[in-house]
Chain A
Amino acid sequence: MLGNFFLRKRMNFLAYFGLLIIIAFVAGVITEYDPVKGFTSIPKAIVWGFTNFYPNVESFEKLPDILQKIRETLLVSVAATVTGGAFAFLFAIFGAHTTRFNVFLGVISRGIAIVFRNIDFSAWAMILLFSFGQNVMTGYFALFFGSFGFLTRAFMETIDEVSGGPVEALKATGAGYFSIVFKSVVPSTMPQMISWVLFAIETNIRQATLVGILTGTGIGFAFDLYYKSLNYHAASLVVVVIVIAILLIEWLSNYVRRVIL
């Protein structure tokens, strides 16, 4: 009996593993991807990077331009995340089990959040390109929708996790809905919510670069421009600036987190 049980487990594992290998092989054949060639091209790519893709003295002339672009990207990311967070807060209050005052409304807000969360930033950017064109608003809304969906989910879980007890207690005292939200849900969840917003800002800055390439705005546009005009030195400077900006933001948000938590 017991021997059979473990034998079956092992057979199952082998079957899944074999299936995985077959799928990978078939996919490779269909796409004509040669794994050997793929891996052997890595060293070549590294060599190319070291010989071409580094900032030189001339590229630093572009620095003021690049800095202005990254400022634009940073501001758009922060603005999109913060406004997305404000809307997410409302939807999370309506959707969280602890604080929803109507089951129907709760299901609706959860549904909306799920839709927004499962459409990726880049997909939003493409969709919005049609309505806004290559415009800074396109980038803003793409980031806004993405972070709205993500933060609604995060906020809902924070509310249900942290404020169940206090909400029950205040309900039992006869407190009204708004008193309960402002006196127990807000103070008990605020630090975690701020932490989520900071996290969303960090990811949004990374996404903004990509979205910028699509929408022709901000730092993504600068990179795209230099890269396509074969100015690899300036393009690499853009990458360096992005990395420094992201590190700075991460350091800053970790500092804020330490203070508030």
Chain B
Amino acid sequence: MEKISIEDVKHVAKLAELDLTEEEINKFVDQLNIVLEHAGKISEIDTSGVEPTSHAIDFKNVFRDDIVKKSVNKEDALSNSQKIVQDLFELPLMIEE
């Protein structure tokens, strides 16, 4: 498999909303390459005709009925937030920098 580059790491950090220092970026390039080299071994296996499995147990059709349950009270909903304004979760400026 191809090696992960500094640019890749920067791009992925952006997708994951992480601010990485130069030092962290360099460290991650090395470490991710080591891990991916190991993980990349799976590409050697012939899986043609093999279906992917997302759960080891074969579950199907699990539903709930359309019944309203009591919501939590507003105070509880807001209780863990650092910033509240007019019963809303306050946000910083909604501009894309």
A and B found bound together: no
Residues of A whose CB lies within 8 Å of any CB of B are: none
Binding site for A on B (CB under 8 A): none
